[in-house]
Amino acid sequence: MGRPQAMVFPRGERVQERRRDADDRKLRDEFFDHPTLLAISRLISRGLFESVDYPIATGKEGGVFRASGAGGFRAVKVYRIGNSVFRSLPPYVLEEFRREVGVGGFAQLISAWTRREHTILTRLHEAGVRVPEPLGYLRNVLVMELVGTPQGVASGRLKDAAVRDPDALRTQFALQVRRMVLAAHLVHGDLSQYNVLEDPEGGPVFIDVAQAIPTDHPQARALLERDLRTFARFFGKLGADGDFEKLWRECGGAELPPPKR
C-alpha cells in the first residue's frame, strides 16, 4: 500500500477552523484563568454540572456559558476579575455594596459581587419572581438554571425577541415586577429589554439582578419610575397598553414604602 494521503481542507474551511481556534483561545484567556478553572473544577465536583459547552453571551463584565451534566443544562456566569464590573455602576449601588462587604481587592470584591447576585436571585426566586433559579457559586463563578428549551437552546433577550402576544407579555411583566416590589421588597435598578429574557413558555425572566436595591432605599422610587416609563413606551410600540400610570399601579409603585432616613 502507498503512503496515506494527508487530509486536505478547502481554503475557506481552514480559515474558519483557524478563526474558531483563535476565538476559543481568546475566550480561555479572557475568562478562564487558573483560579477560575479551579473554582469550576470544584463546582463540577459538587455535581452542579459536568462540562462547560459554549458561550451564550459575553460582555465587558463577564460571560454566560452553557454547561451540561446528568442534571440537565445549566447557565454558568463567569465574572472577569478586574474593575470593569464596577465602572458602569451608579454611585449609590457601589456605596451600598461597599457598606455590605467593606473595601478589598478586585478579586475579593468580584467574589462578594457574585455572592450578592446569588443571594438576590434566591430572594427573588423564593418570592415567586421569574428569575433563573440559583444553584451555587464559588469565587467569580455563578451557576444558575438555564432558561431555554429542553434541548438546551438558551432563551434570547427581550430586545431581540419577536413578541407574539404583547398584551400577555405586558400582563406577565407587571405581575413579575409586582412580586419583586411587594413580595421580595426589591427594585431591580436597571430593568430594560437587555436584561429580560423572553421565555416562550413562562413569560419574561429577569436577569442581571446584582445591583437591585431595597424598596425603602432613597433611590428606589425614581429608579422604578424610570424603568417602568421605559417599558410603558416599549409596550406601546408593540401595540399593547402603554399607559405609564396604569403600569405603575399594577407593578406596585403606588404601594412603595417611604424611603428610610
Choice among 29, 190, 199, 216 that is catalytic: 190
Q: Which residues pair with 138 in a beta bridge?
A: 141
160 belongs to the catalytic site: no
The C-alpha atoms of residue 170 and residue 58 are separated, in whole angstroms, by: 28
Choice among 208, 227, 241, 243 that is catalytic: 208
Grid cell listed for 50: 459536568
165 belongs to the catalytic site: no
Active site residues: 190, 208
